[in-house]
């Protein structure tokens, strides 16, 4: 709201505002009248009649005029333009499922719903430690919602590939119809879905290590193993297994208590004349272990 009149006189008390609604190029329809104090933010909600919220999308615009006590006005405000029409169907039965490549969102499909899908995602903060400071300034701020927008693919599903596992997310989804108006693009947004919260725990093992090779080093009395490194972001390392080809026992883990960080291993605990079969698995930071690789055999002369 302004502070002064057009004659530079300070305004006192609440001032009357007339909200004009225009359909297309039509004249002002009185959407409402309200009063606001000078130099303060003003908010007005126009509850649209049924004839405007139905049918095909069409241009809708607004202006605001401020009236003094004599009913005089300095003229209309700038014009804001948008679109009105039938609301888009609400997305129903939203569910989310964690996958290795992200979080799969699915909902009930609607025939002929040609629109964009707008996804709002909020991540829940981890609970602070019990001995953490109680000072409010020391507490982390809740993260701002992330917004993703995708085309409705007709299958009523989309994968949020930007979500990181081992986090808790709350999703809401709405349909959005883009409409061209004189000032550019406007939107008709459908009713937001009911929220769905998922604790996206990482229960997915890394890929099986590939390219395992075993080479004997007679001088060091050792067998050296190597394989192709994994590319997973949460990879914690590798576990190495061995069995005696001539025996009847199962393969046993021979690597240390912690996973091996590099894609190589030297086995020094072997006997000459024995043939060994080695296999390797990958493990991530959550302790998920992959299947073991194919075996590579080698013997120390």
pLDDT digits (tens, 9 = 90+) for 113-141: 667 899 999 998 765 555 555 555 555 55
Q: What is the structure's pLDDT at 185?
A: 76
Question: Over the stretch 242-269, which tens digit does the pLDDT of each residue have?
Answer: 999 988 889 999 999 999 999 999 999 9
What is the arithmetic mean of pLDDT over 87-102?
Answer: 92
With tokens 């604790």, the residue in question is 199
Q: Is 80 helix (H, G, I), strand (E, B) or coil?
A: strand
| 277 close to 290: Cβ distance less than 8 angstroms | no
With tokens 């020391």, the residue in question is 138
Q: How far is CA 177 from CA 2, 30, 61, 79, in A?
A: 35, 27, 17, 22
On the question of pLDDT at 87 being above 60, the answer is: yes
Question: Over the stretch 208-233, which tens digit does the pLDDT of each residue have?
Answer: 999 999 999 999 999 999 999 999 88
Kindly indicate the confidence band of residue 144, based on its pLDDT and cuts at 50, 70 and 90: low
List CB contacts of 167: < 8 A, sequence separation 6 or more.
123, 124, 200
Backbone angles phi, psi at 251, to 5 degrees: -65, 140
What is the arithmetic mean of pLDDT over 103-120?
Answer: 86
Q: Where are the domains of the chain?
A: 15-84, 95-200, 210-299
| Average pLDDT for the chain | 89
Measured CA to CA, the distance from residue 226 to residue 213 in angstroms comes to: 5
Q: What is the structure's pLDDT at 268?
A: 96
Q: Which CATH superfamily is domain 95-200 in?
A: Immunoglobulins (2.60.40.10)
- Buried b / exposed e along 235-258 (16+ C-beta atoms within 10 A): bbbbbbbbbeeeeeeebeebbeee
| Tokens found for residue 239 | 């576990």
Q: What is the structure's pLDDT at 17?
A: 94
Q: What is the structure's pLDDT at 291?
A: 97
On the question of pLDDT at 280 being above 70, the answer is: yes
What is the arithmetic mean of pLDDT over 275-290?
Answer: 96
Closest to 147 (Cα-Cα) out of 124, 177, 117: 117
Please state, as a whole number, how many other Cβ atoms lie within 10 Å of the Cβ of residue 122. Answer: 17
On the question of pLDDT at 72 being above 80, the answer is: yes
Kindly report the CA angle at 115 between 109 and 119, in degrees rounded to 5?
A: 75
What is the dotted CATH code of the domain comprising 210-299?
2.60.40.10
Closest to 263 (Cα-Cα) out of 281, 242, 245: 281
Separation of CA 300 from chain center: 53
Kindly indicate the confidence band of residue 177, based on its pLDDT and cuts at 50, 70 and 90: confident
Measured CA to CA, the distance from residue 243 to residue 226 in angstroms comes to: 17
| 269 close to 187: Cβ distance less than 8 angstroms | no
Q: Fold match between 95-200 and 210-299?
A: yes
pTM across the whole model: 0.71
Closest to 192 (Cα-Cα) out of 209, 214, 170: 170
With tokens 């009523």, the residue in question is 156
On the question of pLDDT at 143 being above 70, the answer is: no
Lowest-confidence segment of 73-82, 106-115, 184-193, 240-249 by average pLDDT = 106-115
């Amino acid at each position: 709201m302004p502070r002064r009149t057009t004659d530079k006189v300070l305004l006192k008390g609440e001032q009357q505002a007339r909200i004009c609604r225009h359909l297309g190029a039509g004249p002002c329809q009185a959407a409402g009248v309200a009063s606001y104090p000078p130099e303060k933010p003003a908010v007005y909600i126009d509850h649209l009649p049924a004839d405007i919220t139905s049918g095909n999308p069409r241009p809708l615009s607004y202006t605001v005029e401020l009236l003094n006590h004599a009913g005089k006005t300095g003229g209309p405000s700038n014009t804001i333009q948008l679109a009105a029409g039938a609301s888009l169907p609400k997305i129903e039965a939203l569910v989310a499922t964690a996958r290795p490549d992200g979080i799969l969102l699915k909902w009930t499909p609607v025939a002929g719903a040609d629109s964009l899908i707008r996804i709002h995602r909020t991540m829940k903060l981890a609970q602070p430690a019990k001995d953490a400071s109680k000072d409010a300034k020391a507490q982390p701020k809740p993260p701002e919602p992330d917004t993703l927008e995708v085309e409705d693919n007709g299958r009523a599903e989309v994968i949020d590939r930007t979500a990181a596992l081992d986090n808790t997310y709350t999703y809401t989804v709405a349909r959005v119809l883009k409409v061209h108006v004189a000032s550019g693009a406007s939107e008709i947004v459908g009713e937001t879905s009911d929220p769905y919260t998922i604790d996206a725990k990482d229960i997915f093992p890394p890929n099986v290590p590939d390219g395992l090779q075993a080479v004997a080093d007679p001088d060091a009395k050792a067998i050296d193993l190597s394989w192709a490194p994994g590319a997973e972001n949460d990879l914690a390392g590798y576990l190495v297994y061995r069995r005696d080809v001539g025996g009847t026992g199962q393969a046993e883990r021979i690597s240390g208590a912690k996973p091996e960080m590099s894609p190589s291993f030297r086995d020094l605990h072997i006997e000459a004349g024995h043939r060994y079969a080695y296999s390797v698995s990958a493990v991530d930071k959550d302790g998920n272990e992959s299947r073991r690789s194919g075996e590579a055999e080698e013997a120390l002369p």
